[in-house]
Amino acid sequence: MLPSRVKHRKTHRGSRAGNATTGNKISYGEFGLQTLDRGWIKNTQIEACRIAITRHLKRKGNVYIRIFPHKPVTARPPETRMGKGKGAPEFWVAVVYPGTMLFEVAGVSEALARDACRLAANKLGLRTRFVTRQSLTK
């Protein structure tokens, strides 16, 4: 997963302060995986989570990915001296804040969705929680 085109090839690291104000509710499915930490999630991690969820659900139900890696992260080659500018883009990340909904699942039982989200959460380096549509409206 990476953007087809971006306005700027290299970006600043940015601020990670604050909590999620948008994208923190279940919009499409019945169950969701919500992050409790702030950080960056790589495009490869998102893809690994998607594969883990769809394989566990045996392609039943629907899986909605609520995050997308828009931010390029640059890196310099190892053993390079100081100076000579900023490195080339290495990978892409999605910036997530506490409360961001990562994935949503619909059309399956709660037990199956909970197991699938547990497998996906193990692929991430962040603390997450399993939420249902009813638990967020209370």
- DSSP assignment of 60-78: -SEEEE-----EEEEEPPT
CB 100 within 8 A of CB 16: no
Summarised one tens digit per residue, pLDDT across range 75-115 is 999 999 999 999 999 999 999 999 999 999 999 999 999 99
> Within a domain: residue 99?
yes
What whole-number distance in Å separates Cα of residue 48 and Cα of residue 64?
14
Residues 6+ apart with CB under 8 A from 26: 32, 101, 104, 131, 132, 133, 136
> Within a domain: residue 22?
no
Q: Is this structure's pTM higher than 0.85?
A: yes
Question: How many separate domains does the chain show?
Answer: 1
Which range marks the domain in which residue 96 is found?
Answer: 40-76+87-132
SS3 for 135? Answer: helix
CATH of the domain at 68: 3.90.1170.10
